[in-house]
Amino acid sequence: METKKLKIGLAGNPNSGKSTVFNHLTGGHAHVGNWPGVTVEKKEGKFQYRDYEITVVDLPGTYALTAYSMDEKIARDFIIKEKPDGIVVIVDASNLERNLYLATQLLELGANVILNLNMMDIVRNKGMAIDTKKLSQIFRAAVVETVASKGEGIDELKEAIVNGLKKKRDSLRIDYGEDIEMEIDRLEKRVSISGYPSRWVAIKLLEGDREILEMAMREGEAIESQTVDSKKRLEEHQGYDLETALVEKRYAFLSGLIKESVSKKYDLIERLDISDRIDRILVNRYLGIPIFLGMMWLVFQSVFTVGGPLSDGIEAMMGWLGEFASHGIESLGGSKWLSSL
């Protein structure tokens, strides 16, 4: 049987366990060199799975694809220029919102992404549960759980790499709001860079990405003044920096996603811990007496502030009922001693 070849990149935030996943996939065998033209280390290894030979490139750890740092530029250039078959994003599952930010940018770029939720043992120890099916539906990408430090889930990750990369998916589309979307659409129609998704290019121009702007201008696009005008309009409307507004929209998207897909269960020990923490405050040798006196004062105030008018109301109602009953007895010819009761 002919061996099929795939090439993937491993991306992720620093300290997400990316190097551990790389070592498990490649068996610790890697060719180490430098990325072209720079002194940043490049690690590349291979592994066999079924009838596939898969080359794995360990990309520098980054938090985003803004190309402000050399590591970010290397990761972005690899994805765009070398066009790997896919990118496995290693995510610290115990810190989803921060780690998934990179994944959203990769998906906006149109990369074929597999999400690897690593450090799932920490998630479970915290009593958290992640709905991976929901996460997969929203991102339209395969999601695999691993505990790379123990080698758990590595075979499932290999299976996902082989199966998940067979499908090409559309770019993720985040709704940035009506005003921003209008400017994205306007720029998208006026700019084109070969090999880059036009929507992603428009967003990068609004973010002030100098490299993308220079590339657009080399393509013969008179885009700089149009970008400046779009940014000016939006920043006047938003009232603050446009790049910050775009970042906030992405985090708002992630916040909603996490609310839908992550839940937390408190076990008996955690509930007892909460009770213990409250007890430590209430019976504290310094805070206990002031808290007790404060609570007594609140009870005293509630009795006289709320209880006083309530008591007066009840008394008035009973007086009215007594008079009503007395007149009723007299009108029926009852004795005065009975009505006086």
- Are the beta carbons of 166 and 155 closer than 8 angstroms? no
Point out which residues pair with 7 in neighbouring strands: 55
pLDDT value at residue 22: 94
Q: What is the spatial distance between Cα 264 and Cα 268, in angstroms, rounded to a whole number?
A: 13
- Are the beta carbons of 87 and 106 closer than 8 angstroms? yes
Cβ neighbour number for residue 14 with a 10 Å cutoff: 12
87-96, 184-193, 250-259, 327-336: which has the minimum mean pLDDT? 327-336
pTM, full prediction = 0.74
- Are the beta carbons of 63 and 24 closer than 8 angstroms? no
Of 158, 9, 157, 11, nearest in space to 90 by CA = 11
- On the question of pLDDT at 271 being above 80, the answer is no
pLDDT value at residue 86: 92
Residue 177: exposure state from Cβ atoms within 10 A (0-12, 13-18, ≥19)? middle
Of 178, 248, 268, nearest in space to 207 by CA = 248
Residue partners of 151: CB distance under 8 A and separation at least 6: 24
- The string of pLDDT tens digits covering residues 3-19 is 889 999 999 999 999 99
Q: What is the spatial distance between Cα 251 and Cα 234, in angstroms, rounded to a whole number?
A: 19
Mean pLDDT of the chain: 84
Q: What is the spatial distance between Cα 221 and Cα 223, in angstroms, rounded to a whole number?
A: 5
- For the domain made up of 4-164, give the CATH fold: Rossmann fold (3.40.50)
Of 177, 179, 207, 205, nearest in space to 191 by CA = 205
Residue partners of 71: CB distance under 8 A and separation at least 6: 40, 60, 61, 62
Class level of CATH domain 178-264: mainly alpha
**Domains of the chain, residue spans:** 4-164, 178-264, 267-341
- The string of pLDDT tens digits covering residues 111-151 is 899 999 999 999 998 888 999 999 999 998 999 999 999 99
pLDDT value at residue 307: 67
pLDDT value at residue 46: 94
